[in-house]
Every structure is written in structure tokens, then in C-alpha cells.
Structure 1
């Protein structure tokens, strides 16, 4: 299907351990905005796929491109929303087909630099990485705003991350990816701090400094705003999707 320029389709992709289900609350709010919004489960994160542990970043990027094509992005570019660790395959998509994307929205995330590897230290024999205990996870990412019921659902539905996805370097070569209009939705860290770190060349944020068209939205909460502030996140996504500048 295709959509009007002022009302592009929206494709949402969650980070590690998560599938399309992670966006359910956000999709409910986006449904009232008039946008055609869909969420996808990346290859490797479908618990019913017996071969999922062999999934690569290239497999995930190809699936995202297929999903964009099904939304008509070849004719009418879509808004692409990526949370957390979805930044690696989505950075590949931006490198390979930047023309498919009307606006990029990073949710407590951002583009990765060429050569980036999420888990360079992960041994080759590790088949998959399960969701760690929450006390360990909390030392890596903020759980602010997530109550016991949400954490219980997170634990019950999380799917281990395929080892090849975590070990594969992100190979980028097309500078046109940096011209895609971009919105950063900053949650666990203020936008001003993200920009300061980007300007200082911090490896995790350096690619942000290369973006040609950037705006920043602060949405203070933890690393999973689709659960802690779904209405506000939906509003930020809808606002970004409707922009033409």
C-alpha cells in the first residue's frame, strides 16, 4: 500500500529480546492518529522459528527492507522507528536503501558507526544470549517506569538474542544514510547530553554528529518507553512522521 506524503506509513522495530508485541500499547495510540503503523518481529526473535539462532544482521536487514517494500516505501518512503539494539540492522537498511525512509526515529538509540560490533567479546560458541536477570540488566539500561507486571511480561515473552547478530560487524559505505531526516527520542539520557557526547566523539554516539538533518525530543523515562510512556511515545512518533522539513 502507499500513503500520502503528509501521512507516511510507520514501521516499528523493538530492540534485543523483543518482538512486535512490545509495541502493542504504542500502536493503540497511533491508531487514532490516522497513520498506518505496523510493528515487526525481526528474524531470530520469533520463538517458534527452529533456525532462529543462526540468524545474522544481514537476515534482519533484508527482512526490514521487505517490510518497507510491502508498505510501499519504494514509491512513498515510510517512517522507520528503531528502539535500542535494533539500531544495527536498521543502520544497514539506511545504508543500503536510504530512499525507502521518509524519517528515521531512534527511540533511546541512534545510528551505529561502520565497523561497530555489539558483542565483540561474545565467544563464538555462544549460540544465543538470553535476557539477563533484571538486577544485571538495570546496570546496563534504566528500568525506570516498569512495574512488576510489565517486568513479568517482559521476562515471559523475551526471546534470546541470536549470537551471530551480536557478533557481526556493521558494514557501512553509503554516506547518503546521513542525509535521512532523523529524530532522536531521548529517554534514559537527556538529549543535550547525547549531543555533547556525540560532539566529543564518544564511540556510542559519534555517528549522531554526522547526521545532516536532526531534531531531538526529550521523553524522560527508562529505556523501554513503549511500556512506561506509550501515549507520549506515540505522540512523539506521530509528530516526527508528519514532519516534512
Structure 2
């Protein structure tokens, strides 16, 4: 199976480096992506929006011959959902890592301070405590050293969705900083930020307790959960 790995904000393809070896060892073809504007700190980010990141994922899907599994971490969940909407017949499963699908007309976030065309990695004090569970000082330092400013429009642009066949594609939600019970409770309570998730018809929920960046704090366990979802088995 071709597995496309889409990082969250401030990260490039290398952020999956500890997750990919078990996937490859299991016989899968793995495609971690570096999205436009995330190539380096000095990369141009003017004019790059959410649609450009979605298009980059679509282009990778189109470059492959078989059906794919899309894996999106954090803001990458919104990006893979946009690509799924564009290619619902090419996606075997969408896996949302501590994230969930972003609905039509919604934006990822307006919580962080922008600097021109950039959305820099904020100070750790701007994140909630659940985000930072298991993120040691050493891991935080390594994360900040590798972080690249996110193009600001990726966070603020509205999602554009068109094809309701997306609701029939199987999905897995890997719950890290929140539990799967909490997430399903928010859906039942009609919370707007999970309304798109509530429309999916085939969803499995898996708990992987840690902070918001399991690819750094529990990479082997994250790989195992991804493999379980891809192979259709319980982790």
C-alpha cells in the first residue's frame, strides 16, 4: 500500500523519520511530504495557501498507480481531507493523527500570531498542557531547531469541499491529547469543530495517550496504530 504522510504545522517530511521504518518493514511504500513553503526557513511563503497544500497531496496521489492511505497530523488532517474530497475514489483510508477533518468553509486556526507571510512556531506557553505531555525539554529543543514557519494563509484560508463521496471513505482517528470518548461526546453534543467528522459514515477511533506530537513522543506506537488501521486489525 502507498501511504502518504502529511505533517502538521511547522514540520517537514523528516518529522516522520521515526515512524516510517516500521511501515516500510511491513512492506508498504511510504511517502512523507514536505509541503510548499516548508522546504526551509528561507523558503518563500508569500501567496501559499491551504489550497496549495491540498494540491500538493493531490499531485502525489495522482503520481501513484494504486489506491492510497492518507495520514495527516494536526493541521495536516485538514489538508488530507481536502485531498480526499478531490480524489475520493483513490483513497482507501484517511487517518487523522490527533486531528479531524475540516469542514467546507472552515479555517484551521486563528489562534497564533502571524509575522508577515509567516506563522512562526509559538512559545510553548501558548500551547495547552495536554499538547505538551511527554514533550521533554530535549524533544522541545529538537523540535524548535527543526521548525519552519508555516505559511500564514494555510491556517486562515477556508477549506473548499465539493464531493460528498468523501463521507463514505473509511477513516481512523488517533486520539492523543484528547480521548476518543471525549471526541465522540463532542460530536453528540453538536460541537461545530467536529461537525464534519460526525458526517463520516465509517470511522474507527483509537486512543494513543500522549501529547500533540506522537511522532516525536511515541513514534513506534504511532506506527503500530497506523499499521493496524491500514491492515484492518485492532491495535
TM-score norm. by structure 2 comes to 0.92
Asked if the contact 2:69–2:92 (Cα under 8 Å) also holds between the matched residues in 1, the reply is yes
Asked if the contact 2:6–2:32 (Cα under 8 Å) also holds between the matched residues in 1, the reply is yes
Asked if the contact 1:106–1:183 (Cα under 8 Å) also holds between the matched residues in 2, the reply is yes
Kindly provide the CA deviation profile for residues 71-119 of structure 1, in whole angstroms up to 9, marking residues without a partner as x.
32xxx21110000011222221111111121111000001011111124
Asked if the contact 1:56–1:168 (Cα under 8 Å) also holds between the matched residues in 2, the reply is yes
Q: Which residue of 2 aligns with 1:5?
A: none
Residue 207 of structure 1 aligns to a residue in which SS?
helix
In structure 2, relative to structure 1, the CA distance for the partners of 1:165 and 1:71 (3 Å cut) is same
Q: Which residue of 2 aligns with 1:112?
A: 102
Structure 2 CA distance for aligned equivalents of residues 225 and 206 of structure 1: 24
1:207 aligns with 2:200: no
Structure 1 CA distance for aligned equivalents of residues 146 and 208 of structure 2: 25
Structure 2 CA distance for aligned equivalents of residues 112 and 199 of structure 1: 17
Alignment partner for residue 130 of structure 1, among 115, 120, 128? 120
Q: CA deviation at 1:121?
A: 7.4
Alignment partner for residue 80 of structure 1, among 70, 79, 88? 70
Q: Which residue of 1 aligns with 2:169?
A: 180
TM-score norm. by structure 1 comes to 0.89
The gaps in structure 1 that reach 5 residues or longer are 1-7
Asked if the contact 1:44–1:54 (Cα under 8 Å) also holds between the matched residues in 2, the reply is no
Q: Which residue of 2 aligns with 1:66?
A: 59
Q: Which residue of 2 aligns with 1:26?
A: 19
Query: How many equivalent pairs are there?
Result: 233
Q: CA RMSD in A?
A: 2.0
Structure 2 CA distance for aligned equivalents of residues 235 and 172 of structure 1: 31
Alignment partner for residue 48 of structure 2, among 49, 55, 66? 55
Structure 2 CA distance for aligned equivalents of residues 186 and 124 of structure 1: 28
Structure 2 CA distance for aligned equivalents of residues 66 and 170 of structure 1: 18
Q: Which residue of 2 aligns with 1:15?
A: 8
Alignment partner for residue 136 of structure 2, among 147, 155, 159? 147
Structure 2 CA distance for aligned equivalents of residues 129 and 19 of structure 1: 15
Q: CA deviation at 1:48?
A: 6.1
Q: CA deviation at 1:14?
A: 1.0
In structure 2, relative to structure 1, the CA distance for the partners of 1:229 and 1:124 (3 Å cut) is closer
Asked if the contact 2:176–2:210 (Cα under 8 Å) also holds between the matched residues in 1, the reply is yes
Asked if the contact 2:133–2:212 (Cα under 8 Å) also holds between the matched residues in 1, the reply is yes
Residue 208 of structure 1 aligns to a residue in which SS?
helix
The gaps in structure 2 that reach 5 residues or longer are none
Q: How does 1:158-177 map to 2 (within 5 A)?
A: 158-177=147-166
1:230 aligns with 2:216: no
Structure 2 CA distance for aligned equivalents of residues 124 and 171 of structure 1: 23
Residue 45 of structure 1 aligns to a residue in which SS?
coil
Residue 87 of structure 1 aligns to a residue in which SS?
helix
